[in-house]
């Protein structure tokens, strides 16, 4: 199924007219008409806002999942799995994926997937750091005897391990619509 069919099919399943989709995506009606007629293929900003308006990932509107070679899948999985280095090296979950990602940025699929993995790891690191800083103060305020710092650390690390495992499974299936977060740092 090509992009024009995917956009029209998803739009119709949501019950949108072309005008309503254009309004939701903040695109011109003419742009929607050109995409659905096959005269243009959405890229960049247009693809992003169109996917958001339709409530799907960008890869669902393009043929990205079908164009994913075995080598690309391995590189993306390696970027994701390198985030496990946080277990041994502070901020290794950012440093190693960033290094691997920078070596493979020529490929659009690897670039986008790597960006999502690194973005998630940065947000996780910042959130975990803030929680760890606050933990002793909360413990003292509530006169807790158990080490809250340790519990926060273990829960946060477990959550990151689960996310890395789920992301790896998604990549194995060829689904690059991973780790969609409302905040984008990269």
Q: Give the Cα separation of 124 and 17 in Å (integer).
A: 39
Do 80 and 11 share a structural domain? Answer: no
Q: Give the Cα separation of 27 and 33 in Å (integer).
A: 11
Looking at residue 9, its pLDDT comes to: 87
Backbone angle region of 174, left / alpha / beta, with phi > 0 → left and psi within -120 to 50 → alpha: left
Per the domain annotation, does 185 fall within a domain? no
First to last CA, the chain: 31
Other C-beta atoms lying within 10 Å of the C-beta of residue 149:
16
Per the domain annotation, does 116 fall within a domain? yes
Looking at residue 79, its pLDDT comes to: 95
Per the domain annotation, does 182 fall within a domain? no
pLDDT digits (tens, 9 = 90+) for 19-38: 999 999 999 999 999 888 87
How many C-alpha atoms does 61 have within 13 Å on its Cβ side? 25
Instruction: Supply the range of the domain harboring residue 83.
Output: 70-172
Q: Is the dihedral of CA 103, 109, 113, 115 positive or negative?
A: positive
Q: Residue 1 — pLDDT band, cuts 50, 70, 90?
A: low
How many C-alpha atoms does 45 have within 13 Å on its Cβ side? 3
Do 75 and 28 share a structural domain? Answer: no
Per the domain annotation, does 179 fall within a domain? no
pLDDT digits (tens, 9 = 90+) for 64-110: 444 567 888 899 999 999 999 999 999 999 999 999 999 887 777 88
Please list the alpha-helical segments (H only) found in the chain: 3-14, 18-25, 29-37, 44-54, 58-61, 70-81, 92-103, 108-141, 148-172
CATH number at residue 32: 1.10.260.40
Per the domain annotation, does 177 fall within a domain? no
Among the three residues 61, 82, 109, which one is the final residue of a domain in this structure? 61
Do 126 and 39 share a structural domain? Answer: no
Q: What is the pTM of this model?
A: 0.66
Characterize 98-108 residue by residue with b for buried, 16 or more Cβ atoms within 10 angstroms of its Cβ, and e for exposed: bebbeebeebe
Do 152 and 112 share a structural domain? Answer: yes
Structural domain count, the chain: 2
Q: Is the CB of residue 2 less than 8 Å from the CB of residue 17? A: no
Q: Residue 147 — pLDDT band, cuts 50, 70, 90?
A: very high
């Amino acid at each position: 199924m090509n992009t024009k069919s995917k956009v029209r099919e998803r739009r119709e399943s949501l019950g949108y007219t072309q005008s309503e989709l254009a309004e939701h995506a903040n695109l011109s009606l003419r742009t929607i008409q050109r995409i659905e007629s096959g005269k243009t293929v959405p890229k960049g900003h247009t693809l992003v806002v169109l996917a958001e308006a339709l409530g799907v990932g960008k890869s669902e509107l393009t043929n990205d999942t079908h164009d994913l070679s075995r080598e690309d899948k391995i590189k993306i999985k390696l970027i994701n799995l390198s985030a496990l280095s946080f277990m041994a090296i502070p901020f290794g979950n950012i440093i190693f994926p960033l290094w691997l990602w920078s070596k493979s940025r020529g490929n659009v699929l690897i670039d986008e997937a790597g960006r999502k993995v690194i973005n998630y790891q940065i947000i996780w690191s910042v959130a975990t750091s803030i929680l760890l800083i606050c933990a002793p103060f909360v413990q003292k305020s509530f006169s807790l005897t158990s080490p809250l710092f340790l519990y926060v650390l273990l829960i946060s690390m477990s959550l990151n391990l689960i996310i890395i495992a789920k992301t790896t499974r998604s990549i194995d299936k060829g689904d690059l619509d991973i780790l969609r977060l409302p905040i984008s740092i990269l």
